[in-house]
Amino acid sequence: MTKTEELQIIEIPKITDYRGNISVIEKDIIPYEVKRVYYLYDIPSGSKRGGHAHIEQSEFLIPLSGSFDVILSDGIKEEIVSLNRPNKGLLIPKGFWRELENFSSGAVCLVLASDVFEEEDYIRDYGKFLESKNIHF
């Protein structure tokens, strides 16, 4: 069973200079080869994104601009992670339910995924997610 202790905030190396900052993701920053990159932006006020879990895919979320909250559940414990620094990302291993909310104006969320899009890898119903974890209430 996946546990919220497996979640990681990873600091992305930052090169600071009087002209601005550069952050680079390469080599061993995240523990998988990136096979898909996408980003969320122009999120209307009060909207939520996510609302699913992945069976096999891991994701690394980076707040390129602005801020947002990530609500995560392993089926037993829930945790809220606020992301607001472009040099710190959240690594979400497979098997976590996630919802994104409280997007600030102009927020941009970059996602580096461990695999290409496959609908079969998604669990989009929270009850079915709990069943997949053998959790019954």
The catalytic residues are 52
DSSP state of 58: -
**Where would I find the H helices in the chain?**
126-132
Rounded to the nearest angstrom, the gap between the alpha carbon of residue 29 and the centroid of all alpha carbons in its chain is 15
